[in-house]
Structure 1
Amino acid sequence: MGLEQIKTRITAAETAAGRQPGQVRLIAVSKVQPPDRVESVLDAGQRVFGENYVQEAQGKWPAWRDRFNGVELHMIGPLQSNKAKQAVQLFDAIHTLDRMSLARKLAQQIAEQGRSPDLFIQVNTGDEPQKAGVLADELPGFLASCRDLGLDPQGLMCIPPEADDPVPHFRLLRRLAQENGLPNLSMGMSADFESAIAEGATHIRVGSAIFGARDYG
């Protein structure tokens, strides 16, 4: 598909939803992508990227940040509590705050480092036992506990169940954000980002449609 085609589709989806072009931030998901593919997207002007693994991101992004101004890095994969220090050092946003043990670690590191990435709470909209995320009815209490720690979450994130129509999950996330005074919605991936934009997404996470299929070797 490619970066420019995705940008064109984002603009068309914003217009179709009655939203101003430029309201949606494209996170190019670069996990497990070969360096030449990532560099070609950097060369094309993309500056917001998503990674799933702290160690992988540590191994490649410091050098690219030295070469390309304005890079913004988003953590979009599950975050182990023992990686909180490195995550706060490296990432500008963390989309997967999903439990109090992680919230406490992040609060400690934010206080120690004086660096405060944007935080999104991951919501398990499908109530899937195998999936990370706060359950919808537990969100108000979880958010209050995060704020008691001095954290200031700015949005919600979800990954709808693969077999489900994603739209009801996007609508639930939007309602939860509105009820809890959170301005940002991280939802929508390569297969469904246009539906997510129609339902109010502020951040979409697109990988294979930009870079091509991943090679896990």
Structure 2
Amino acid sequence: MASLKLRSNAFLKPTPAGVFYAVSEVVDTPPRRLLNNLLGCSQTPEVTEKLLNVLCENENLDQSLRLLHRLHSLRWVQGLDSPLLMSNDSLEEILPGLLFNLTENGKALLADAQGFYLATAGFAHETAEELAALSADVLKLQDRHAGLLLNNLNIGSQAWGVVDASGNSRLGIWPLHIGKHRFALVMTGIPHFNHPNFVHLVWTIATRYAPFKTQI
């Protein structure tokens, strides 16, 4: 591979695909570590050699460059011409608008591991409460049977769904692993994980619950 160089004046941001990879599992890998550290930044940082090593938690610049090149080739990260800054508004103000566009019918909610919802779009309060409790039960079920699904059936996904006779999901529950916390994203209909709001949603949560504190 030819010598790799950083593009100047580029501000690093994860793509929807990169964010989905980062939060879909808790297993620590170099790509997931870089992406999660990036999501914990309060603004999209300008890429420098020093910054890249810090984000990769690696002092070997060549290895860090190769990792970034790999993520860029997979379209898990992108370089912006100008920085984006995370809003200081409360989660109650930010999250409902982000959730609305994540599914075809605008019905989605975000719940914590204890079964309490942080925000909802399209669901009545009582329904949101019960769905949040359901998501906690489902994720506990996933924990108990993770070995069967992964080792015996080779099913790596941790998402669960209620499907119709054609196998189409009517209700889906996706775990989001952010720092030491696990959240559940509950949606009806076809999910839109490729929507920019998915990146913004996870970025918003990560800066609050798993901020990247190392000075860069």
The TM-score normalised by the length of structure 1 is: 0.28
Q: Which has the higher contact order (CA 8 A, sep 6+)?
A: 2
The TM-score normalised by the length of structure 2 is: 0.28
Q: Which protein has the larger Cα radius of gyration, Structure 1 or Structure 2?
A: 2
